[in-house]
């Protein structure tokens, strides 16, 4: 099982809705292993890692030119999850890829 580390250092630039809609993100789709994928992020206040989403069957990441990142977790029979990380500085890892 491979671990992929996404280090997210995001700017605090405010963007209008129209600008965000016109940006073309870099899209990457990953299949998850038997145990599924998890998104864990470091809480900058406590310096502790916490699970944000787990049990993903497939994860699609979108990296936007403005520094925002979006994680879409296809969770099979469970409800899908979409997490957007923006104007905060977070360190996140997606674990469990095949």
> Tens of pLDDT along 83-97?
998 766 678 889 998
Closest CA to 6 of 78, 81, 59, 76: 59
Q: Enumerate residues 6+ apart whose C-beta is below 8 A from 74.
A: 56, 57, 58, 59, 60, 80
What CA–CA distance (Å, rounded) separates 97 from 3?
6
Whether this model's pTM surpasses 0.85 = no
Q: Collect the ranges in the chain with pLDDT lower than 70.
A: 1-23, 87-89
């Amino acid at each position: 099982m491979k671990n992929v580390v996404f280090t997210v250092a995001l700017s605090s630039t405010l963007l209008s809705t129209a600008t965000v809609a016109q940006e073309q993100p870099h899209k990457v789709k990953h299949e998850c292993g038997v145990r599924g994928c998890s998104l864990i992020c470091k809480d900058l206040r406590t310096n502790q890692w916490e699970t944000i989403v787990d049990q993903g069957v497939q994860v699609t990441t979108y990296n936007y030119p403005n520094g925002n990142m979006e994680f879409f977790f296809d969770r099979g029979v469970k409800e899908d999850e979409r997490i957007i990380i923006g104007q905060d500085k977070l360190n996140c890892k997606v674990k469990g890829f095949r």
